[in-house]
Amino acid sequence: MNTVVHVSRRTVLTSALTAGAAALIPRDAVAAAAPAATVPLALRSHDPIELRWLDRDTPGALAGGTTWGVPWPRGSFAPDQEFALSTAAGEAVPVQTWPTAWWPDGSVKWTAHAVSEDAPRAQTYRLGAGRPATGAHAVAVRESAGEITVDTGVVQVSFARNGNQVVRSVRRGDTVIAHSGRLVVSRQDKPDTDDPQAIRFESFTGSVSSVVVEQSGPVRAVVRVEGKHRKGPREWLPFVLRFSLFAGSDGIRVVHTFVFDGDEERDFINGIGVRFTVPMRAELHDRHVRFAGADGGVLSEAVRGITGLRRDPGAAVRQAQVAGEALPDPATWDQRVTSRLHWIPAFGDYSLSQLTAHGFEIRKRTGQGHSWLRVDAGQRAAGLGYVGTPSGGLAFGMRNFWQLHPTELEVTGAADDEAEATVWLWSPRAGAMDLRFYHDGLGQDTYPEQLDALEITYEDYEPDFGTPYGVARTTELMFWALDATPTAERFAELAAANSAPPLIVSSPEHNHAAGVFGSWAPVDRSNPARAELEDRLDAIQGYHQDQVDQRSWYGFWDYGDVMHSYDGDRHQWRYDVGGYAWDNSELSTDLWLWYHYLRTGDAAAFRLAEAMTRHTGEVDVYHLGTWKGLGTRHGVMHWADSAKQVRISNASYRRFYYYLTADERVGDLLHELVDSDRTFLVLNPTRKIDGSTGPYDPDPAALPVGKTTDWGALAAAWLTEWERNGDPAAREKLLSSARSIAALPNGWVQADVTYDLASATFSSGAEPTVSVGSLSSVFGLIEVMAELLDLVDEPEVAAKWVEFCRLYNATTAEQQAATGSSWGNLNLRQAYSRATAYAAVQLDDDALADRAWRELRTGHAGYPDDHSFGTVRIEPPRVLHPIDEAGFSTNASAQYGLAVIQCLALVGNRLT
């Protein structure tokens, strides 16, 4: 008997969406091949270039090694080109190279490079075509059915292919420095803040499901480990770990990502960490603990101290213990000490907890069941600890330790045969993580009520939409398998490398000459008008950078983001006012900060943009569930707003960091977005505007995808996938969609447009109509179009785009003549001055270029020429603590910054 099952179209489409991007493009195909050349490849090579350290000073230590990216002009090198690296003095440096993007002609666009901790150190280097030097060590990777072992020539790290031990062992030759590396998580079913009468606790351990070697040397090896945290039948909190190991180095870099897939009403995480077991092969007085404090400070302790006693063992003994060296035989000490060693307490447990950005505390105890003693305290710890003996031990740490509070470094059992060293990403000493929505909905049950509430708090609320299900967090960890207890000076060097991993960079001049990232140019103060604009750019970027610290925009889920708008009455950013709170990439803050770094090469600017990329790409975007591939609009909580859109998950905001650092995790984020047009099958972003009230039953051939804000984000994802991986499907979607928009009667301003998912094309009625919004191009569309039209020969697309750029700030008569209608009273005209500048260059029109500068200086919805770019100091008791106040908003700063940067690059010759 045949049974007929009726399934709604929505069910079928939702199931198809759940399959995600991986169903269309195999994950391990990422970075697999160059795109097929569209023209014969004619190479012209490139002279060697100079590289330097981001922070300019030659670092004392590296985080195992360092990995960076370099762009090359079109047609310079073939994808298989070898590169040689040397110091400025000519000393060869072993380097590993691989391409990360290609130009359409098949030549290499971006290369990634890696050097190890043991590489010759210099202030500057030279990179050019040539045969790479061979180092004294090379990474070797061995695979078997049960494990993968990476040998750097100094340490050997074994990874389990399954089970609850991510790392089976870390060895230096025959000595096991650490073993049983594992992930630990604990949860409770009720929050501490609600004063519950009873709380149920559970502990989980990471369970490995997949281990893949992504790179195998000779300088750098990368192992990707995936799985979930498990206890009994429950598996949750998916994780992805990447271990990077470098030839000749004892450092192990770990990029740790987890995705929250719990129920925020009953899953309150009260601890999440990475733990290793460390053998203790020495007498208690030869076991050592180290913690890095602030400003290069180091706490040096022994498990059983023999200094400060009533009886003196001898100066040589005391000095050796303080230095972490093996003590002389106790038979040689003053016997009044030797005979009484058993009376000296052994402190086996240590903790450095950083529960806020402004204070850490170190405590110790003899063991479980006994009181903790307060050791010392400070403000901002560097985030590195150590436990071991003179014959070896483990340094363990976390980057952005105080910025991502509440964190902790913990040592337990150091008085036993084996200690445990734990990096707590969320400290168990802090209150449990509470991800619940911050209000009860306030009665906003219908769209009219929600739209009315939007008018007062600017919060786009909708029941059940403020969920953290599917958001992620990525944290960078470091481990060093040391052959001895480090000196205080060496430990301070390792702590500095842990806090701010040294990075090699190419100059703004070279990056600009390579022709990447569209319209920008290095800083130019060659005349007073340019110098004034450069000062203003520095002022707005510096102000927002300073506000991070002054306003303490730190914390596990918050660090990396900035606030959206300011409340002058309270002298406070509007952290508690609906959609005015966290910025969540609104109006392309990420783009502005990255372009500022590209122009200046400034290390502080890089670190600010880097932190934003780590945050906005993970916390503000869904990586699991129905809304996978969508980001959340700005709000009081990063996931609170009901506007879930591709304009926030935007690949444009992540590309810079990927290409400049070759970071594999950000590569994952870019790949996740390839099929984000499929999210329109499950959510209508215009539902409150078009009055949709019933179940969403989309037509895949006529989806409500916007041709500007939405398409700009989709285009960035396709463009990046095409240039990274040579994916013909991504290229076809990119070009087909762009051509279809250009073919619309009014191109990018045509009204009543729908999107066909199968063909990746837009369509509308035959009559020219107009619908244009001020937000249309301020989420990366202007920037991605500049890049796209530089890559491909598409005259019809270019003509229609240039028309849009020319007309946005044009007169009503000009708009009517070209499109048949006025474009209305448009906003953000200062922001669109860069569109005018782009049109001026393409049309070779000086009058249009002059118009662009007038638009910029008039400052509509931005900063006019007479705006004050200074700050005012506000002192207590008017505020909690001294702060600087300025007439800046993040939206205006981002768009002003982008407009100035691009106008300078495009029509700077017309600046007077």
Burial class (CB in 10 A: 0-12, 13-18, 19+), 814: middle
Question: In sequence order, what DSSP letters do the residues of 505-531 get, joined into one string?
Answer: EE-HHHHHHTT-SSS------SSHHHH
Q: How many Cα atoms sit within 13 Å of 18 on the Cβ side?
A: 8
Alpha carbon distances (Å) from 284 to 176, 275, 303, 394, 483: 19, 22, 6, 17, 18
Burial class (CB in 10 A: 0-12, 13-18, 19+), 175: middle
Q: What is the pLDDT of residues 343-374, one digit of tens each?
A: 999 999 999 999 999 999 999 999 999 999 99
Residues 690 and 696 sit within 8 Å (Cβ to Cβ): no
Closest CA to 564 of 537, 593, 588: 588
Lowest mean pLDDT among 15-29, 187-201, 398-412, 507-521: 15-29
pLDDT score of 23 more than 90: no
Amino acid, res. 585: S
pLDDT score of 577 more than 50: yes
Q: What is the pLDDT of residues 692-726, one digit of tens each?
A: 778 899 999 999 999 999 999 999 999 999 999 99
Residues 419 and 278 sit within 8 Å (Cβ to Cβ): yes
Residues 488 and 300 sit within 8 Å (Cβ to Cβ): yes
Helix (H) or strand (E) segment spanning residue 593: helix 589-600
Indicate the pTM of the whole model: 0.95
What does the alpha-carbon distance between residue 540 and residue 863 come to, in Å, rounded to a whole number?
A: 11
The confidence score (pLDDT) of residue 87 equals 98
Model confidence band, residue 14 (pLDDT cutoffs 50, 70, 90): very low
- Which residues neighbour 40 within 8 Å (Cβ) at sequence distance 6 or greater? none
What does the alpha-carbon distance between residue 451 and residue 461 come to, in Å, rounded to a whole number?
A: 8
Note the Cα 115 to chain centre separation in Å: 22
What does the alpha-carbon distance between residue 260 and residue 239 come to, in Å, rounded to a whole number?
A: 9
Residues 67 and 112 sit within 8 Å (Cβ to Cβ): yes
What does the alpha-carbon distance between residue 324 and residue 319 come to, in Å, rounded to a whole number?
A: 9
Q: What is the pLDDT of residues 626-666, one digit of tens each?
A: 999 999 999 999 999 999 999 999 999 999 999 999 999 99
Q: What is the pLDDT of residues 854-909, one digit of tens each?
A: 999 999 999 999 999 999 999 999 999 999 999 999 999 999 999 999 999 999 99
Q: What is the pLDDT of residues 790-845, one digit of tens each?
A: 999 999 999 999 999 999 999 999 999 999 999 999 999 999 999 999 999 999 99
Rounded to 5°, the CA angle 822-825-826 comes to 100
**Arithmetic mean of pLDDT over the chain:** 95
pLDDT score of 27 more than 50: no
What is the end-to-end Cα distance of the chain in Å, rounded? 84
